[in-house]
């Protein structure tokens, strides 16, 4: 599966493609084909002045032509079209033009890659030019022509060695060694060296590679000043090839400090991005050695290859970093998007559809927080491995966020197979991971979206998958959702709500409804649960189901939650002052985010102090699914709350995953049995109701049990018989504003009985 986009391999393919060519035009043709693939461009052309040497795709004369910069690439976008221009070689009049007709414009890393490829092409074209020149000069003299052709071929062969090393992404020092060795053997000289300028101090040179140097000299000369570096220093300063031989009356000497006996030497500047970054040097001990124009051309060709090697290394690294997640090696979101754009364009043409799957890990944060980042990293790599193992070579897998992965499914056009693949992948993630000798299990949620026929909008498709993922998250861990158009409406509604929620507390739009909780043995009200409502100026009353999770995600829950706590305690204290001795309990729901805040115990203590409510009259409810997150930290926090004297309840019990072992560890007093179980009572169900067993479990642990969602009189008796202590539900009373509950509580008939056991 193509989980990695490899610019290294692209560069290799490119150099491979052009290095076999024997004339300028065939090299240009090979280059445009290869570049179109590497750069994912719709059109690629190589131009020489006004002439077109080669083109792939269609050149539109009306398109923008960015001015060709001396170094690097220039990029211009006009509408959906993005055009990239790079000069091929210096002062050659040749340039590269790459065009994308839609999708994402060229990014910097791609411009760098194009620059690197152009530099490699420039060298090949220069070598071919050189060869053509020699053929022309040699003309009638067959002996000389044969000799020149041999030299030309050898040069190309030696350069190919270097090019292959670049293509292989060999370390730079290996490539440099290939260059000095190549120059030395081709020129038949005793010594070759590559000296590079110090990045911090350009007046100093380092020996980057030597060939034929005695060790002693190498060690002495590993660092030298430009002035002490003879012809190499001169070549660098003058930015031109410098030659010294016995016959030349040049003021400069050959004394590169190397050794006596050097009769002739020459050095060529090494350029990278139009700066002279070093020099390539050869020397001979033969007294008759004269460096003619052909020798100079050879040295120049090798010196230019140093620049290409540096450029390629930089482009490859830059591209790799820009397009890959350093931890997992998977494609980055930028690369994924890029692929998606092209896949969509292709699909639109072929009238097919494209499927995108987004995966989100559930409990990743817990692993990270509990076992540390190293464990989190191992888990992510493990997830990446399992996902990629479950995909085909043609699929693309990318890491999007901390714990989010994206998949582009190739050739899957129907919902069913997409669902099957996703389910299989989800199942693979449910198998335990072994991390640092410990078994870790996680779950995931996933959203799937398909492009519409002819759809080219990558962002819309990703957004669809994201909406489906959001819906799946709301369904709970392990769920997979397929995008449906209605989800967009939900999203828009949420976005609007989020804006308004910010002001809800300060604008006094929140209020509390209270739902009585009764003693099942006699129907007397023992207390109330406070349930928040949002009186939205336009939308009317908004249910907590619609905004608590949003408040939780955005963090507004902290202010909403402390308002609720304060208001509920204030109200309860007031009721208890009016009804001395009634001992009315108040129950307040806490969200996951509130529980995790270290200042929660202080907040609760402060509210109790300010409102004067007796701590034992306050019950804090936490849903089961929140409890099992990060168990140790939660247990610690619950003990601190217990120490204040308040009671703790597990809400929605039976819907999470808590095992008995967990339950024992939580210092809770009350178990609230979820409505789901209560619904089963009195209904003809195939199996027996689970409620008695859950009530029994609660009693075994010494907890008070409360049944939620009692809607029907017929549910009351079985609950009481199975030992359930208290109940709450529409049958007794709906949640209602304080004023109405009050009537119920202070009813002139005063019994506070809200139902009769039939
Ligand atoms: P919950 O804590 O389990 O509250 C019980 C929910 O069941 C309430 O929904 C209540 O109106 C509803 N309910 C009670 N009896 C019946 C019945 O007989 N039949 C049916 N169908 N439903 C019944 P509500 O008020 O919409 O609240 C929903 C959830 O929102 C609550 O579930 C709680 O988890 C959360 N919530 C409410 N207020 C707050 C709050 O102030 N803070 C936090 N963090 N969460 C809150
Ligand atoms: Mg509750
Ligand atoms: Mg509940």
Question: Which ligand is in closest contact with the Cα of 512?
Answer: 1
Q: What are the residue boundaries of the structural domains of the chain, listed by start?
A: 7-150, 170-320, 351-484, 496-748
Sheet with 355-362, edge to edge strand ranges: 396-401, 404-409, 355-362, 443-450, 480-482
Give 538 Cα–ligand 3 centroid separation in angstroms.
Answer: 28
The minimum-distance atom of ligand 1 relative to the CA of 652 is 3
Separation of CA 584 and ligand 1 centre (Å)? 19
Check if 709 has its Cβ closer than 6 Å to any atom of ligand 1. yes
| Pocket of ligand 1 contains residue 532 by CB under 6 Å | yes
- Tokens representing 409? 């499914």
Ligand nearest to the Cα of 736, by number: 1
Topology alike, domains 351-484 and 496-748: no
Q: Is the beta carbon of 729 within 6 A of some atom in ligand 1? A: yes
Tens-place pLDDT, residues 24-78: 888 899 999 888 888 888 899 999 888 888 888 888 877 777 788 877 788 888 8
Q: Quote the percentage of the chain above a pLDDT of 70.
A: 86
In this structure, CATH architecture of domain 351-484: 2-Layer Sandwich (3.30)
Ligand 1 atom 45, closest CA: 589
Superfamily of domain 7-150: GAF domain (3.30.450.40)
Q: Greater confidence, 338 or 149?
A: 338
713 lines ligand 1 (CB under 6 A): no
Is residue 402 over pLDDT 70? yes
| Sheet containing strand 275-284, strands side by side | 223-225, 204-211, 191-197, 275-284, 264-272, 242-244
Q: Sorting pLDDT into bands at 50, 70 and 90, what band is 755?
A: low
CA distance 271 to 259: 27
The confidence score (pLDDT) of residue 346 equals 82
- Structure confidence by residue, pLDDT tens digits, 427-477: 999 999 998 888 888 999 999 999 988 888 888 899 999 999 988 988 888
pLDDT reading at 168 higher than 70: no
Q: How far is the CA of 34 from the centre of ligand 1 (A)?
A: 62
Residue 249: per-residue pLDDT: 43
pLDDT of 25 reads 86
Ligand 1 touching residue 654 (CB < 6 A):
no
Protein residues placing their CB within 5 Å of the ion ligand 2 = 589, 621, 651
The CATH architecture that domain 496-748 belongs to is Alpha-Beta Barrel (3.20)
Cα atoms found within 13 Å of the Cα of residue 737, Cβ hemisphere only: 6
Give the helix ranges, DSSP H, for 351-414. 364-371, 373-389
| Cα distances (angstroms) measured from residue 149 to each of 143, 181, 189, 341 | 10, 21, 20, 47
pLDDT at residue number 250: 42
Structure confidence at residue 1 as a pLDDT band (50, 70, 90): very low
**pLDDT by residue (tens digit) across 684-718?**
555 557 788 888 888 888 899 999 999 999 999 99
Ligand nearest to the CA of 532: 1
CA of 671 to the centre of ligand 2 (A): 11
Best mean pLDDT range from 159-163, 273-277, 475-479, 567-571: 567-571
Atom of ligand 1 nearest to the CA of 561: 42
Q: Tell me the pLDDT band of 321, cut-offs 50, 70 and 90.
A: low
Question: What's the whole-number mean pLDDT along residues 412-435?
Answer: 93
Ligand 2 centroid from CA 683, angstroms: 24
DSSP 3-state assignment of 317?
helix
**What tokens does 681 get?**
């009572």
The finding on whether 564 has its CB within 6 A of some atom of ligand 1 is: yes
Asked whether 591 lines ligand 1 (CB < 6 A), one says yes
Pocket lining: 562 vs ligand 1, CB cutoff 6 Å:
no
Q: Is the pTM of this model over 0.85?
A: no
Q: 377 pLDDT exceeds 60?
A: yes
pLDDT at 738: 95
Tell me if 711 CB under 6 Å of ligand 1. Answer: yes
Q: Check residue 294 and report its DSSP letter.
A: H
Burial track 172-207 (b if 16+ CB lie within 10 A, e otherwise): beebbbbbbbbbbebbebbbbbbbbbeeeeeebbeb
pLDDT digits (tens, 9 = 90+) for 213-243: 777 676 667 777 888 888 899 999 999 999 8
Express each pLDDT in 99-145 by its tens digit: 998 878 888 878 877 887 887 788 778 777 777 776 666 555 666 66
Q: What is the CATH number of domain 170-320?
A: 3.30.450.40
Confidence of residue 390 (pLDDT cuts 50, 70, 90): very high
- Using pLDDT thresholds of 50, 70 and 90, give the confidence band for residue 591: very high
Q: For residues 402-424, give the mean pLDDT.
A: 92
Categorize the per-residue pLDDT at 749 as very low, low, confident or very high, splitting at 50, 70 and 90.
very low
For 119-263, list the strands marked E by DSSP.
191-197, 204-211, 223-225, 242-244
């Amino acid at each position: 599966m193509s989980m990695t986009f490899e610019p290294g391999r692209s560069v290799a393919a490119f150099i491979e493609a052009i290095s076999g060519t024997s004339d300028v035009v065939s090299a240009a043709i090979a280059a445009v084909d290869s570049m179109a693939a590497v750069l994912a461009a719709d059109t690629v052309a190589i131009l020489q002045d006004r002439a077109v040497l080669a083109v792939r795709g269609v050149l539109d004369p009306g398109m923008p032509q960015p001015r060709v910069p001396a170094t690097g690439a220039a990029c211009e976008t006009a509408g959906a079209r993005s055009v990239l221009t790079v000069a091929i070689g210096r002062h050659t009049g040749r340039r590269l033009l790459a065009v994308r007709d839609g999708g994402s414009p060229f990014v910097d890393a791609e411009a760098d890659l194009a620059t690197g490829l152009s530099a490699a092409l420039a060298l090949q074209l220069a070598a071919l030019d050189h060869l053509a020149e020699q053929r022309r000069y040699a003309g009638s003299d067959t002996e000389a022509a044969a000799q020149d052709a041999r030299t030309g071929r050898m040069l190309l062969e030696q350069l190919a060695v270097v090019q292959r090393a670049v293509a292989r992404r060999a370390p730079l020092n290996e490539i440099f060694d290939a260059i000095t060795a190549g120059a030395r053997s081709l020129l038949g000289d005793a010594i070759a060296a590559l000296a590079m300028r110090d990045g911090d101090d350009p007046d100093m040179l380092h020996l980057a590679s030597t060939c034929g140097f005695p060790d002693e000299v190498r060690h002495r000369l590993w660092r030298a000043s430009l002035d002490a570096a003879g012809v190499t220093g001169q070549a660098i300063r003058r930015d031109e090839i410098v030659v010294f031989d016995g016959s030349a009356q040049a003021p400069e000497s050959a004394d590169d400090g190397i050794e006596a006996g050097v009769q002739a030497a020459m050095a060529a500047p090494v350029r990278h991005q139009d700066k002279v970054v070093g020099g390539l040097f050869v020397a001979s001990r033969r007294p008759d050695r004269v460096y003619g124009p052909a020798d100079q051309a050879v040295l120049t060709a090798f010196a230019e290859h140093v620049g290409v090697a540096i450029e390629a290394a930089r482009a490859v690294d830059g591209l790799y970093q820009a397009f890959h997640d350093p931890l997992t090696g998977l494609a980055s979101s930028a690369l994924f998007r890029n692929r998606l754009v092209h896949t969509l364009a292709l699909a639109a043409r072929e009238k097919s559809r494209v499927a995108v799957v987004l995966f989100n890990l559930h409990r990743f944060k817990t692993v990270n927080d509990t076992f540390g980042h190293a464990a989190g990293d191992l888990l992510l790599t493990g997830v990446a491995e399992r996902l990629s193992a479950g995909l085909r070579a043609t699929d693309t897998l990318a890491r999007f966020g901390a714990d989010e992965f994206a998949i582009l499914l190739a050739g899957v056009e129907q919902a069913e197979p997409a669902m099957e693949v996703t389910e299989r992948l989800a199942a693979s993630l449910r198998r335990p991971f072994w991390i640092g000798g410990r078994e870790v299990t996680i779950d995931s949620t996933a959203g799937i979206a398909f492009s519409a026929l002819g759809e080219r909008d990558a962002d819309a498709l990703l957004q669809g998958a994201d909406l489906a993922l959001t819906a799946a998250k709301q369904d709970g861990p392990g769920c997979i959702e397929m995008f449906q158009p209605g989800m967009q409406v939900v999203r828009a509604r949420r976005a609007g709500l989020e804006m308004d929620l910010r002001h809800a507390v300060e604008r006094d739009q929140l209020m509390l409804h209270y739902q009585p909780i009764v003693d099942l043995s006699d129907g007397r009200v023992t207390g109330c649960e406070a349930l928040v409502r949002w009186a939205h100026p336009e939308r009317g009353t908004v249910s907590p189901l619609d905004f608590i999770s949003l408040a939780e995600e955005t963090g507004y829950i902290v202010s909403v939650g402390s308002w609720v706590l304060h208001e509920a305690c204030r109200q309860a204290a007031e009721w208890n002052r009016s009804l001395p001795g009634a001992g009315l309990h108040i129950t307040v729901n806490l969200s996951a985010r509130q529980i995790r805040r270290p200042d929660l115990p202080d907040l609760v203590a402060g509210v109790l102090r300010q409102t004067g409510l007796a701590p034992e009259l306050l019950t804090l409810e936490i849903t089961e699914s929140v409890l099992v997150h990060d168990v140790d930290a939660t247990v610690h926090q619950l003990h601190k709350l217990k120490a204040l004297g308040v009671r703790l309840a597990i809400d929605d019990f039976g819907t999470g995953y808590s095992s008995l072992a967990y339950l024992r560890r939580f210092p809770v007093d009350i178990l609230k049995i979820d409505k789901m179980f209560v619904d089963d009572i009195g209904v003809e169900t195939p199996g027996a109701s689970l409620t008695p067993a859950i009530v029994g479990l609660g009693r075994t642990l010494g907890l008070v049990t409360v049944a939620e969602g009692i809607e029907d009189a017929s549910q009351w008796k079985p609950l009481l018989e199975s030992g359930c202590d208290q109940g709450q539900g529409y049958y007794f009373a709906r949640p209602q504003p304080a004023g109405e509950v009050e009537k119920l509580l202070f009813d002139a008939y005063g019994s506070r009985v809200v139902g009769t056991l039939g």
